[in-house]
Amino acid sequence: DIQMTQSPSSVSASVGDRVTITCRASQGISSWLAWYQQKPGKAPKFLIYAASSLQSGVPSRFSGSGSGTEFTLTISSLQPEDFATYYCQQANSFPYTFGQGTKLEIK
Amino acid sequence: QVQLQESGPGLVKPSETLSLTCSVSGGSISSNSWSWIRQPAGKGLEWIGRFYTSGRTDYNPSLKSRATVSVDTSRNQFSLKLNSVTAADTAVYYCARNLPSSPYFFDYWGQGTLVTVSS
């Protein structure tokens, strides 16, 4: 299985900050990567696919980049509703696997 | 707007079969592929399996052939059966739609249902 490793595991930031989360794959996955946001007690929300394509309706402050084994999710200016846990997911090969999550907390 | 809703028993005994159904509204189940994903409490997400409109299914090998995903087009529902469950199968189970343009990602999710395996 392809292992997905996110860093950091948690990060504290303030409203208005720019935040970057990294996801590394244990082997190359081209651009077969998605990002999800999950709030406590809720289902994940689909944000970005194919590494950098923004899902319809997702604010433009979210962006994704990378290919191969290293990917980033950037939130350009944090809003109060962005504090949540973020997961990456690879779709290059079965079984699809997720990162362990990055918890974004209010400083 | 596509909506998904999981239903099924919240408590299953060890060695028995977990059975869940996902009801889909706002879209035809025949025109997309559909997945099940689970999340143990306080942990990450695990993809379980997927049903394609062609009838093909794919499963996570970690489940050792215990999982079966099927579709009932007449009811616009799809289901998950997981047999020989143990406490390790205790989790919130989500049904999800695979993104139509790239069915390797999950664009719509149900709210999730907690299944506890305990005697």
pLDDT of residue B55: 87
pLDDT of residue B41: 95
Q: Report pLDDT digits (tens) over B7-27.
A: 999 999 999 999 999 999 999
Q: Report pLDDT digits (tens) over A43-102.
A: 999 999 999 999 999 999 999 999 999 999 999 999 999 999 999 999 999 899 999 999
Contact yes or no for A55 and B107 at CB 8 A: yes
Band (pLDDT 50/70/90 cuts) for residue A9 is very high
pLDDT of residue B64: 83
Residue A105 burial by CB count (10 A; 0-12/13-18/19+): exposed, middle or buried? exposed
Residues in chain B: 119
Contact yes or no for B109 and A97 at CB 8 A: no
Q: Does a cis peptide bond (omega within 30 degrees of 0) precede residue A95?
A: yes
- Chain A partners within 8 Å of B110 (Cβ): 43
Token pair, residue A22, equals: 């990294």
Contact yes or no for B47 and A96 at CB 8 A: yes
Owner of token pair 């990450």 = B44
pLDDT of residue B102: 85
Whether A36 and A56 have beta carbons less than 8 Å apart is answered as no
Contact yes or no for B44 and A87 at CB 8 A: yes
Owner of token pair 């944000």 = A47
pLDDT of residue A23: 98
Token pair, residue A42, equals: 């809720």
Contact yes or no for B104 and A96 at CB 8 A: yes
CA distance A102 to A85: 5
Q: Say which of B58, B102, B112 has its CB closest to residue A43.
A: B112
- Chain B residues within 8 A (CB-CB) of chain A? 44-47, 58-62, 94, 99, 102, 104-112
Whether A74 and A9 have beta carbons less than 8 Å apart is answered as no
Owner of token pair 């504290």 = A12
CA distance A78 to chain B (A): 23
Q: Which residues are CB-contacts of B73 (< 8 A; sequence separation ≥ 6)?
A: B29, B30
Contact yes or no for B104 and A42 at CB 8 A: no
CA distance B15 to chain A (A): 24
Q: Say which of A1, A49, A95 has its CB closest to residue B105.
A: A49
pLDDT of residue B19: 98
Of A12, A26, A103, nearest to A71 by C-alpha is A26
Owner of token pair 């696997």 = A97
Whether A85 and A102 have beta carbons less than 8 Å apart is answered as yes
Please list the alpha-helical segments (H only) found in A1-107.
none
CA distance A89 to A83: 19
Name the β-bridge partners of A37: A45, A86
Percent of chain B with pLDDT over 90: 90
Judged by DSSP in three states, A70 sits in: strand
Residue ranges in chain B modelled with pLDDT below 70: none
Contact yes or no for B105 and A34 at CB 8 A: yes
Owner of token pair 């395996």 = B117
